[in-house]
Amino acid sequence: MSFSEEGQEPLAGCTSGESDEEREAVRATAQVDQRRIANAVREILLAVGEDPDREGLCETPDRVARMYAELFGGLHEEPRRHLRKFFTEKYDEIVLVRDISFNSMCEHHLLPFMGKAHIGYLPNGRVLGLSKLARVVESVARRPQVQERMTETIADLLIEQLHAKGVAVVVEAVHTCMTIRGIRKPGSVCVTSAMKGIFRKSLSSRAEIMTLIYGGRH
Ligand SMILES: [Zn+2]
């Protein structure tokens, strides 16, 4: 096995020191104008007929501002940076990471949608540390988002950075804008997929990856 750049992460490990990840998250969060959010939240509270100065609410605008800075911090991150360190490895079978949980924010209602992403790829000499896939999901999710674009973006990033023979991304999510308002359908799950390369071209490869994702379940 050889490492590209200073990649030191074990292939099947998610444990290497992530302090530069934390620093990056802090930097990204600091890019969000929290004062402006707090002012806007105060306006919303006034608009719905609340008293933003009563005890229970007086710290809410600042609290919501910090929360939005965290939830939208991905806007100020470059998800590609997680894909620059890869291993050169003669492994030519499918790599799949299932059940990567994420939270994102629907850009139509600013309500959360949350679920799981399954990411599989067929390497072409470049193999990624497994935790990096989760990092990419996290980075792409933490911005105003729609599930379809999120799915496509993750697949495009992987094919572009890994030159993989194929990439398959399946995302399943519950959208609170469908469960708590509007048509109120609790339990409904939205599934999106993006198939690239061999998983797009070959029915049997697509069937194989879908079996790996869903095999033994349902
Ligand atoms: Zn929505």
Per-residue pLDDT tens for 61-104? 999 999 999 999 999 999 999 888 888 888 889 999 999 999 99
Q: How far is the CA of 12 from the centre of ligand 1 (A)?
A: 35
Active site residues: 106-109, 147, 175, 177
Q: Which two tokens stand for residue 155?
A: 């697949």
Q: How far is the CA of 179 from the centre of ligand 1 (A)?
A: 10
Residue with tokens 């990056």: 24
pLDDT at residue 7 in the model: 43
Q: Where are the domains of the chain?
A: 23-74, 79-214
pLDDT at residue 22 in the model: 82
Judged by average pLDDT, the poorest of 26-30, 130-134, 205-209, 213-217 is 213-217
Cα 162-29-16 angle, rounded to 5 deg: 50
Q: How far is the CA of 186 from the centre of ligand 1 (A)?
A: 14
Q: Which CATH architecture does the domain made up of 23-74 adopt? A: Orthogonal Bundle (1.10)
Instruction: Select the CATH number that applies to the domain covering 79-214 from these four: 3.50.50.100, 3.30.420.40, 3.30.1130.10, 3.40.50.10300.
Output: 3.30.1130.10
Question: pTM to 2 decimals?
Answer: 0.86
In what side-by-side order are the strands of the sheet with 2-3? Answer: 2-3, 86-88, 126-128
pLDDT at 49 over 80: yes
